[in-house]
Every structure is written in structure tokens, then in C-alpha cells.
Structure 1
Amino acid sequence: MTGDTAKLPHVRCPSCGGKAFARSTGKHSLTYREAYYHCRNPDACGHQFVVAMEAIRTTRPSRFPSPRAMLPISTWRNAANDRAANDDGADGNPEEPAAGTVTDS
């Protein structure tokens, strides 16, 4: 195996919906990474697929910016894709999450 697959997120198999795990990683750049996943469905789905991860925008600029990784800047409010009702606070306006409260699933 290549890369550190233990830190990659778990995803669902696009074929059967079962849990899939990262087998290896490849094609790295400063803002792009591919991970090769294998389905763990106990009914032996066997699907293998590639997931691409890419940094696409900045929501809070770095204190140590790199000229090699200049991403477009957007606010947290503009970064939300779906503007779902659960994104809004009690007053109906979106609230930015407090620092340290966002967890990885």
C-alpha cells in the first residue's frame, strides 16, 4: 500500500451502498489527491473505485500562505452548496460554526 490510508474518510460504495475503505493513494499534488477504494460489502460486491479529493477554495486565509497554492477565497456562508434549512440559525440566518466544533465523520 502507498500513502497513509488510515487518515482517509470512509465512503459508501456507489454500486451497493456498502462501506468502502481506502486501499492506497496516488496522484498527489499540492491541492489534489486520488484514493483507491474497495467495497467491504459482506455479500462480495467487489467494486473498486477511485475517489478524487481537491482543495477548491479558501474559507479562512492561512497565516502562512503559499504562492504555490493560491485558491479562490469565499466566506463560509458562500461556501455552502445547498443552503439547506438546517444551515440556518434560530433567526433564519446562517451561522458560522465556532472554531474547534466541526468534526470529521
Structure 2
Amino acid sequence: MPHFICPACGERAFARNSGKSSTLYRELYYHCRNVVDCGHQFVVGMEALRTTRSSRVPNPLATLPITTWRPAANDDAANDDGPPGAAAAIHVTS
């Protein structure tokens, strides 16, 4: 289970247990690791929001909106002014 930061004191919290609420939603019960000074206990909700790649064995009861996986916002190096492969070419003069 993913770790979570305690909203009260900022220390790491750990999941003690979870309960399945539905096919697409689950509640996780967290306890702050700072038991002596904080002792906060809280509930985190986890939800499946959308599909980025369709399943080969789809569940008809779990329908999610389909979106595409977005590439990184800037894949190009800042100093890449030449055509593709130009930086890798080695010019030898004799």
C-alpha cells in the first residue's frame, strides 16, 4: 500500500487495513508513525479514475472513461538544434 503523509504533523503514516467499498473505490485506514506526539488516525480514499490502456479481460461492471497516455511535455534537449542524428555523426578531416 502506498505511504501517506500525516496531514496533522507531516510524519509518514502507514496503512493498518483497508475496506473494499466498490469495484472502483477503496478506503484505507492510516495511522501516524509519530504515535507519542501525534497519534492521528485517518481514512484515505483510493479511486480508479480512467483507463489509459484497455484490459484484455474487461469487467463489464467496471467501466472507466478511456484516455490516452500523454508523453512528457518536453522530450527534446534544450540544445538540440540540428536534425535527428546530427549530434551522433563524427566528422573526420585529414
Counterpart-to-counterpart distance in 1, 2:37 and 2:63? 43
Counterpart-to-counterpart distance in 1, 2:23 and 2:58? 13
Of 71, 75, 83, which residue of structure 1 is paired with 2:68? Answer: 75
Name structure 1 gaps, 5 residues minimum: 1-7, 79-85, 93-105
Alignment-derived partner of residue 23 in structure 1:
16
Letter in 2 for 1:60: R
Counterpart-to-counterpart distance in 2, 1:9 and 1:25? 12
Q: CA deviation at 1:91?
A: 5.7
Q: CA deviation at 1:76?
A: 1.5
Match status 1:89 vs 2:75: yes
Bigger helix fraction: 1
Deviation per CA, 1:20-40: give whole Å up to 9, x if none: 001111143211100000000
RMSD after superposition: 2.2
Alignment-derived partner of residue 27 in structure 2:
34
Moved over 6 A (4+): none
Name structure 2 gaps, 5 residues minimum: 79-94
Instruction: Please say which structure displays the higher CA radius of gyration.
Output: 2
Structure 2 length-normalised TM: 0.72
